[in-house]
Amino acid sequence: YAQQAMSQQLQKEAAVERDSVVSKVRKYIKDYGKKNGYSYIYGTGDAATVLYAKDGYDITEKIVKELNDNYKAPEKTETKDTAKTEEKK
């Protein structure tokens, strides 16, 4: 049990450190892109991602709003069970 607890603690600490490094690298890339006049900086991993884009190019909020508008949950209507119960009354 002690070994398992120590292993879990080590994993938690490593995750915190990894998140910190990733955050610092992202900030560096953003600052680098701004300083050097880039519009975009792309990653080249298996899932190529945009590592930096000028603020005006971020359309996330627009897309999320349209998705929410287009895929709203249907209005809740009275269920059949509730209707049958009320008919019996």
Domain boundaries, the chain: 2-75
Average pLDDT over residues 15-20: 91
36-66 pLDDT, tens digit per residue, is 999 999 988 777 788 898 888 888 888 899 9
First and final C-alpha spacing in the chain = 61
Distance CA 55, CA 39 (A): 9
- Position 86 scores a pLDDT of 59
Q: Which long-range contacts (CB under 8 A, 24 or more apart) does 8-17 make?
A: none
Number of neighbours of residue 53 by Cβ within 10 angstroms: 16
Share of the chain above pLDDT 90, in %: 44
